[in-house]
Structure 1
């Protein structure tokens, strides 16, 4: 029987739910209680909708990652998790466990890399994964075995949708972001090129490496900028590329979903 792993980007889901409850309830304790209840309901709706054989919620550790080690400005300026919510996460994880859903978090890896590793491992075994997140960084993982689902918009993203939306196949996205950067993560890329310029360059030269290998053309200022900032672009590509080979220490069977009574 074919397996389907439902991978929930837990903090992506929980922080959006909490942001709403925090605005609606002056009592933080009440906001946290409703957030927990709403998040559990969301997971149950996701299971009802997707009928997965296996489920996992992946949490960030909130500790500096390998990306911080090579680029100190990584995610600089991003709004930190509210302290009350951070202190409450263990209670939320316990509530998830009570409805039959395991949580995964480590002190050394980012949730995005763990999610990428899980989905890639499933795909290599010809098994399906559905990543529940609003994070566009996961677009680079899309293939016939991997889908992304936005719980809040009730919408799916696959390879075709990305191609229509961004005019690039998913395999070129990390090259694109290496040039444009990702402002939400404080990753700079190459100044003065922009999205339209990056798109044009990749259409002309196919890949980031193709840009670096091309002869100098003084008339093409965008090309010159990327070639003259090769180190910055290569660093950005390293930062935006998800790791997919993290040792997990468990197997798929450990994530099998069994409905609780």
Structure 2
């Protein structure tokens, strides 16, 4: 029997819900109360829609990660989680637990890497996973076993949709982002290349490594920029590439969904 793991990027879901409630309610406690209820309702809707055999909600620890150690500017300028919401997360996790869903959070890893590890383990075993998030960084994980679902747009993204949208297979996305950077995470990439230039380079040379190993061509200014900024490009690729081998300390059976507690 093929199992389906529903992996919810919890902070991606909750922060968007809270942002709406914070604008609508001057009373922070009221906003938090409605956020919890709305998040629980969303969780139930997701389970009803996808009918998973297993479910997990993955939370960020909000501690600095290995990426900060490599690149101090990582996510610099990103709006931090509101303190009131941060203090309330344990209550939301308790509410999810009452609905039969475990929450996963560690002090050493980012939620994205935990989600990546979970979905990759499922895929390697021929099992399905559905990642609930609006984060395009998860595009790199998509394959015949893994889908991305946007709860707010009620839309699915698979590897074929990414190919149509970005004109690149998912396997080349980290090379693309290594050159373009990701502004939301303050990852700069190679200055002067841009999205169109990175796309042209990958179509011509096949990969970032192919660009770096190619003979110098003075006429190809973009390729020269990448070669002259090799360390920047390789660091950016390391930063945008999700880990797939984090020790989890539990197995799939621990995440089986059994309706409610």
TM over 0.5: yes
For the aligned residue pairs, the C-alpha RMSD in angstroms reads 0.6
Equivalent residue, structure 1, for 2:146 = 146
- Rounded to whole Å, the distance in 1 between the matches of 2:191 and 2:243 is 26
- Rounded to whole Å, the distance in 2 between the matches of 1:47 and 1:86 is 25
Deviations 1:101-138 (A, max 9, x none): 10000000000000000000000110000000000000
- Rounded to whole Å, the distance in 2 between the matches of 1:116 and 1:122 is 10
- Rounded to whole Å, the distance in 1 between the matches of 2:118 and 2:212 is 32
Superposed counterparts of 1:209-228, under 5 Å: 209-228=209-228
Query: Is 1:84 aligned to 2:96, yes or no?
Result: no
- Rounded to whole Å, the distance in 2 between the matches of 1:168 and 1:56 is 30
Gap regions ≥5 residues in structure 1: none
Structure 1 SS opposite 2:26: coil
Equivalent residue, structure 1, for 2:37 = 37
Equivalent residue, structure 2, for 1:176 = 176
Equivalent residue, structure 2, for 1:255 = 255
Structure 1 SS opposite 2:6: strand
Displacement of 1:15: 0.1
- Rounded to whole Å, the distance in 2 between the matches of 1:260 and 1:185 is 37
- Rounded to whole Å, the distance in 1 between the matches of 2:220 and 2:121 is 41
Structure 2 SS opposite 1:55: strand
- Rounded to whole Å, the distance in 1 between the matches of 2:26 and 2:48 is 32
Superposed counterparts of 1:1-261, under 5 Å: 1-260=1-260
Gap regions ≥5 residues in structure 2: none
Displacement of 1:260: 1.8
Deviations 1:45-82 (A, max 9, x none): 00000000000000000000000001000000000000
Structure 2 SS opposite 1:7: strand
TM-score (norm 2): 0.99
Structure 1 SS opposite 2:73: coil
Deviations 1:204-247 (A, max 9, x none): 00000000011111111111100100000000000000000000
- Rounded to whole Å, the distance in 1 between the matches of 2:70 and 2:2 is 40
TM-score (norm 1): 0.99
| Farther-moved stretch of structure 1 (217-226 vs 163-172) | 217-226
